[in-house]
Structures are given as structure tokens and as C-alpha cells.
Amino acid sequence: MSDETKDCIFCKIIRGEIPSAKVYEDDDVFAFLDLSQVTKGHTLIIPKKHEKDLFHLDPNVAATLFRRVPVIARAIKEAFHPVGMNLLNNNSSLAGQSVFHYHIHLIPRYDENDTFSFQFQPHVDDYSNEQRADIAAAIAEHIKSI
Ligand code: 5GP
Ligand code: ZN
């Protein structure tokens, strides 16, 4: 076992070395309640294969993982009847990541006063169409085969 996997909190949860409130498990994916329960039913969905973030995630692992996401989201909705749901994934500490095993948060939303909020900051729309085309092209040229 690599040091990364041995010391990782989420790998320990998968191995049962740390207890968790399990929502779902199969050969590739594990889902469990976030300890912090930002709102009731706040669930983390993780691949069993340890990858630290989105930049390291194998697309095939991502595909397997994401197939489960709507199914688990619907289960949360049926259990607790939230009005909506935020799907969140933080990558790097700057972006708010605190556990470096890739994970998706499902955060059920109950009303405007529930305990989670997220808003894009108001911003000035200061790119011309030409600049937007340049930005898109700069990204597109780095897209490898999908
Ligand atoms: P991040 O900040 O990396 O996007 O999210 C990590 C999440 O993992 C946090 O919301 C935190 O509450 C949760 N977490 C950290 N340690 C544990 C743990 O031992 N058990 C569970 N169930 N959740 C944890
Ligand atoms: Zn891990």
C-alpha cells in the first residue's frame, strides 16, 4: 500500500478503519455522510481508487463515479424531500479542498435560509467576443483525446 493511500482519511473509511455512515458501496465507488452535514443528508461520493483531485482523476474512473451521482442524488431527494441540490467538488486548498482524495459533495437544499449558500460574485463582463474566442481556443488546444 502506498503511503498516500495508507494515510488518507477517505481510504481509511473505505477500508473500514475509520467508521462512517455509509450510503452506498460497490466495487468502485463509496458514498457516505459528510461528518459536517452542511445540510441534512450532505453526502460524499468517492472513487475507491485513490486520486488526489480532478487533475489526476482517470476519465474512466470519473465515468464510473459519475454514473452513480444522479442515482444517489435521487435517493437523497426521496428520503428528505429537499427542493434542490448543489453538487460541489473542490480541487486544491486554494479552492477549498481539505481532504486530498477526490470527492463529490451532494448538498441537499431545503430553503433560502438553510445552512449552505453559494453565489457567483457580481462581476463586470469585460471580455470582448474576440478575447472570448482566444480564451476558448487556448483551452481547446490542450484538450487531449476524450
Ligand atoms: P473538502 O473540504 O475537501 O471539499 O471536503 C472534505 C469533507 O470531508 C469536509 O466537508 C469534511 O467535513 C469531511 N470529512 C473530513 N474528515 C471526515 C471524516 O473522518 N469522516 C467523514 N464522514 N467526513 C469527513
Ligand atoms: Zn485516499
Give the pLDDT confidence of 99-115 residue by residue, as tens digits: 999 999 999 999 999 99
pLDDT at res. 121: 85
Give the range among 22-26, 93-97, 118-122, 130-134 with minimum mean pLDDT.
118-122
Report the predicted TM-score, pTM, of the whole model to 2 decimal places. Answer: 0.96
> What is d(CA 33, CA 108) in angstroms, rounded to the nearest whole number?
12
Ligand 2 is a single-atom ion; what residues have CB below 5 A from it?
8, 10-11, 50, 101
| Ligand 1 pocket member 36 (CB < 6 A) | yes
* 142 is a catalytic site residue: no
> What is d(CA 107, CA 121) in angstroms, rounded to the nearest whole number?
20
Closest Cα to atom 24, ligand 1: which residue? 35
> What is d(CA 75, CA 99) in angstroms, rounded to the nearest whole number?
25
**Mean pLDDT on 21-32:** 98
| Ligand 1 pocket member 99 (CB < 6 A) | yes
Topology of the domain covering 3-120? HIT family, subunit A (3.30.428)
Task: Look at residue 145 and tell me whether its pLDDT is greater than 80.
Answer: no
Domain ranges within the chain, ordered by starting residue: 3-120
Kindly give the number of the ligand 1 atom that is closest to the alpha carbon of 97: 3
Residue 3 vs residue 63, higher pLDDT:
63
